[in-house]
């Protein structure tokens, strides 16, 4: 009986260790943390507030990532995008912050655990379009952590969590808008504290004014 109890406790202990190793908590960012990607796009932490990070997205960052915003506010606990900041207003008195209601709002949804799945829904005008005056559409996003993956890119070799992203909207027959669905994969590195690579299915994402939707990390700096 004692042996059975011991084995049970041992299995529980080992399971706890494995789970702890698999579980990834939200990163801690510092002012000056900066990630540089192919095509010279940069993401940099500008300010730390009590419960949030203010992050700048350069104009060279893919439109899918920026969603048309220069600065985005991330929640410290989950790292979800909670506010966007109007261009040019951040250092002005009474800077204009809007609730973030756009794509990739919760692509960060910590803790990260292999197999975890979650969804997002929002209504917005398409950011990937050459047509003006398009109506707002109801979008859906589905996320799933596929597991661990060791990858080698321009910025180095990293142990990452592979995150599948599916985004789309239903057809609107009244306005002659067809259903569209895109699929991509993001690789998150706990050591880098950000995604190090993004790759979209070429059949699901069309070129937009020369935009390149696939990117990878070329270098980074993390402040202490």
Hey, where are the domains in the chain?
Answer: 28-221
Q: Which residue has the higher pLDDT, 98 or 129?
A: 98
Verdict on whether the full-model pTM lies above 0.85: no
pLDDT in tens, 157-195: 999 999 999 988 877 776 677 777 889 999 999 999 999
pLDDT band at 53 (very low <50, low <70, confident <90, very high): very high
Q: What are the counts of helices (DSSP H) followed by strands (DSSP E) for the chain?
A: 2, 12
Task: Specify whether domain 28-221 bears CATH 2.40.360.
Answer: yes
For the chain, what is the mean pLDDT?
A: 84
**What is the SS3 assignment for 151-196?**
EEECCEEEEEEEEEEEEEECCEHHHCECCEEEEEEEEEECCCCEEE
pLDDT band at 126 (very low <50, low <70, confident <90, very high): confident
Q: Which residue has the higher pLDDT, 202 or 162?
A: 162
């Amino acid at each position: 009986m004692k042996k059975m109890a011991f084995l049970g406790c041992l299995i529980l202990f080992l399971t706890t260790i494995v789970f702890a190793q698999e579980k990834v908590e939200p990163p801690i960012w510092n002012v000056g943390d900066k990630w540089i990607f192919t095509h010279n796009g940069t993401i940099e932490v500008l300010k730390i507030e009590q419960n949030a990070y203010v992050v700048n997205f350069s104009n060279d960052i893919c439109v899918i990532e920026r969603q048309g915003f220069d600065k985005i506010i991330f929640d410290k606990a989950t790292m979800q995008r909670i506010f966007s900041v109007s261009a040019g207003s951040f250092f002005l008195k009474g800077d204009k912050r809007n609730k973030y209601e756009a794509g990739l709002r919760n692509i960060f949804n910590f803790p990260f655990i292999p197999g975890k799945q979650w969804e997002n829904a929002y209504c917005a005008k398409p950011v990937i379009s050459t047509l003006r005056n398009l109506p707002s559409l109801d979008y859906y996003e589905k996320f799933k952590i596929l597991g661990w993956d060791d990858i080698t890119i321009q910025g180095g070799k990293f142990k990452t969590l592979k995150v599948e992203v599916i985004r789309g909207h239903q057809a609107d027959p009244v306005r002659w808008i067809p259903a569209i669905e895109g699929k991509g994969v993001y690789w998150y590195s706990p050591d880098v504290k950000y995604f190090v690579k993004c790759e979209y299915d070429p059949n699901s994402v069309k070129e937009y004014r020369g935009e390149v939707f696939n990117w990878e990390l070329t270098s980074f700096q993390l402040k202490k």
